[in-house]
Amino acid sequence: MKKLTLGLITILLVISSVFAASNDLEIFSWWTGGGEEEGLLALFAKFNQYYPNINIINAAVAGGAGTNAKAVLKTRMLGGNPPDSFQVHAGMELTDTYVIPGLMEPLTNYLREWGVYDKFPKDVMEIVSYQGEVYSIPVNVHRGNVVFYNKKIFRELGLTKEPTTWAEFFAAMKKAQEAGYIPLALGDKNKWTLTHLFENIMLSVFGPEGYKGLFNGKTSFDSPELEMSLVLLERLIPYFNRDHSALTWQDAGRLVFEGKALFNVMGDWEEGYFKTLGWKPGVDFGWFAVPGTDNAFMFISDTFGLPKGAPHRDNALKWLKFIATKEAQDIFNPIKGSIPARIDADKSRYDVYLTWSMNDFATVAVVPSIIHGSAAPEGFVTTLNDALNRFIVKKNISNTLRDIMWAAEDQGYLTE
């Protein structure tokens, strides 16, 4: 009898463990700090109110812009060990890396079934589609071409007008340097932040149509504007903090927050980060478009998709249906420092910065980011990262131009 009871208990424990495992949901991302982590956890909390029996496994991997996470994810996907759903940037990062190799399930029919297909801008849906099928759900929209600044230092320096030209920007940085402040904070310990700055310089020099043309075959990389962009980057170097190569993007942001630096060029996830530190937008920190880019919106979007072979596919679909809702997007984005991908957001929930971003998104030219996966495939981005990180040390424009041209040729971009 005792043996029978023990056997029954063993069977029940096995059944229980199988049931528990079947009710898991592994979400893979690189949201591990600041407003991004808080926003993700807020989504998890609301999701569990609807599905209290689903055990969420937060498989976040630290590393700015997903530097480390992307490598881990790629290994898992190619090794046949996918998470249930994962964060991926809209555009080439999604399409070239996972859709074309046949690793993702299309979501078009689900979006129509859930009644949300037409709740996203057409242009955004095109970026997350391939050959007419949608492969991921955008949860937000970030703007990359933003300069954040410390308003107290700005006033102290006697500055009253936010720079709109590079001449005005350099004049403001000179004042900051003379007063003992770091003019332009940079943290390029992870290579992507320097490329983030450079792509915004390129946008300024090429203009929105010329910049987009680099990736759609209408503009040649063999253009004087590319060299002009490198010259402008070289002019900025003396205004960086000397320890930039030892800092992350959050560290650079803290230099602004702590009153040590005036400016920082960063995507508006920094707005979410500043708010977690207790700063108020428009009161403690200000912002403006990178000089020469106020007619453009550098588009970055975080999305989630459904990998083939997801271990808990039904739970993954529940997650995707949830993040496509207006409720989820209005929970996540005000915390993250981003605007919703949906067109029917509750604008009253968004602060003065995010309202500014929403208005520009609806009115100015939208252009894809290189470093954040929208414009170019991984191979080009990696080579550009390496070339720029050599450039910041050696300042050799001709060699850097050569390396970028070679990378463009490898991808079939126009170079003549």
Residue 20 pLDDT > 50:
no
pLDDT, tens only, 186-225: 999 999 999 999 999 999 999 999 999 999 999 999 999 9
* Strands annotated E in 241-295: 261-265, 285-289
Question: Over the stretch 157-187, which tens digit does the pLDDT of each residue have?
Answer: 999 999 999 999 999 999 999 999 999 999 9
Return the biggest CA–CA distance within the chain.
89
Is 148:253 a contact under the CB 8 Å cutoff? yes
Q: What is the mean pLDDT of the chain?
A: 93
**What is the 8-class DSSP label of residue 63?**
S
| Tokens read off for 135 | 């492969």
pLDDT band at residue 62 using 50, 70 and 90 as cut-offs: confident
Taking only the tens place, the pLDDT of each residue in 94-107 is 999 999 999 999 99
Q: Assess contact for 55 and 20: CB atoms under 8 A.
A: yes
Residue 130, φ and ψ in degrees, nearest 5 = -145, 125
